[in-house]
Homo-oligomer: A and B are copies of this chain.
Amino acid sequence: MEYRFSMFANIRVVLVNTSHPGNIGAVARAMKTMCLDQLYLVDPKLFPHADATARASGADDVLASARVCETLEEAIQDCSLVFGASSRSRRIAWPQLVPRACAQRIISEPDHSSIAIIFGREHSGLTNDELEFCHYLVNIPANEEYSSLNIAAAVQVIVYEIMLAKLADKANQTGSLSSERDNKKDEMSKSISESATAEDIEGLFQHMEQALIDMDFLDPDNPRQLMRRLRRLFNRTHLEKTEVNILRGIFTATQRSGQQSN
């Protein structure tokens, strides 16, 4: 059974600090089999590399157009929805989705939203700082005693679910009626609530942190725990651009009101 539709131009796979170039090639192959071609590599150990090309096995176009970034921030700055693949349970609970729910969430986004799915290092995954960029974690259900999928295998499972969700969605959208409805949905969601990008959100958090320091609420030498909680809270809400502007307005007002006392 085979399917043709255009590539998912708005969904990118981001690999952070990948050690084995062979894995990068295998990820490119996994992506292309499921109609994804936007690959971002954050500070890969070895790239380009013959092992990557060998394992890509015909998906070398995906490799050739891969974007290499110095930082994760750079790779996702224009994204409004960010997932982090993670097999570890963590002390601070983060919103977690299985791949099928993740795919549903992605398919229900308007087509113009940029979406990132981040995969961490082969042995240590994503750091807590990197997780803070994520709205959701994606966990692949796995054997409790041996839960670590190879990175390309994890990509394969997640992009497979995305393609199945897309196929199911297309099958539901029969006729012009529903495509009209979709256009309306798109327009509506654009005008009513444009999602904030990762860059907007990062700007908000930096502003928030400074405002909290200015009002002596946050110890600048030890800001981590509080900021982590606040990031978690606001990441969960999937902020709109206007909301970011309101919140930044509030922080500016607190800073102004504090300055008057100096």
Contacts and interface: CB of A to CB of B under 8 A. Distances in A.
Interface in A174-206: 189, 192-193
A33 B257 contact: no
Contacts of A238: 236
Interface in A134-160: 139-150, 152-153, 156-157, 160
Contacts of A230: 246
A233 B229 contact: no
A30 interface: yes
Given A139-B1, A147-B2, A153 B30 contact: yes
A224 to B, nearest CB: 14
A89 B33 CA distance: 16
A163 interface: yes
B1 A217 contact: no
Contact of A153 (B93, B152, B236): B152
A215 B3 CA distance: 46
A26 B150 contact: yes
A195 B26 CA distance: 39
Nearest to A26: B150
Given A237-B237, A258-B257, A2 B141 contact: yes
A142 B260 contact: no
Interface string A229-251: 11001101111001100100110
Contacts of A167: 141
Given A29-B150, A153-B152, A229 B215 contact: no
| Most chain B CB atoms below 10 A, which of A89, A139, A193, A236 | A236
A233 B226 contact: no
Interface in A28-57: 29-30, 32-35, 55, 57
A105 B143 CA distance: 21
A48 to B, nearest CB: 19
7 contacts: A1-B141, A2-B142, A4-B143, A214-B257, A215-B250, A216-B253, A236-B237
Given A1-B139, A57-B148, 20 more contacts: A1-B89, A2-B139, A2-B141, A2-B142, A3-B142, A3-B143, A4-B143, A26-B150, A26-B153, A32-B143, A33-B140, A58-B148, A100-B164, A142-B163, A157-B157, A212-B253, A233-B239, A237-B237, A257-B257, A260-B261
Task: Rank and list the top 7 A-B pairs by shortest CB-CB distance, nearest first.
Answer: A261-B261, A260-B261, A4-B144, A217-B253, A153-B156, A2-B144, A257-B258
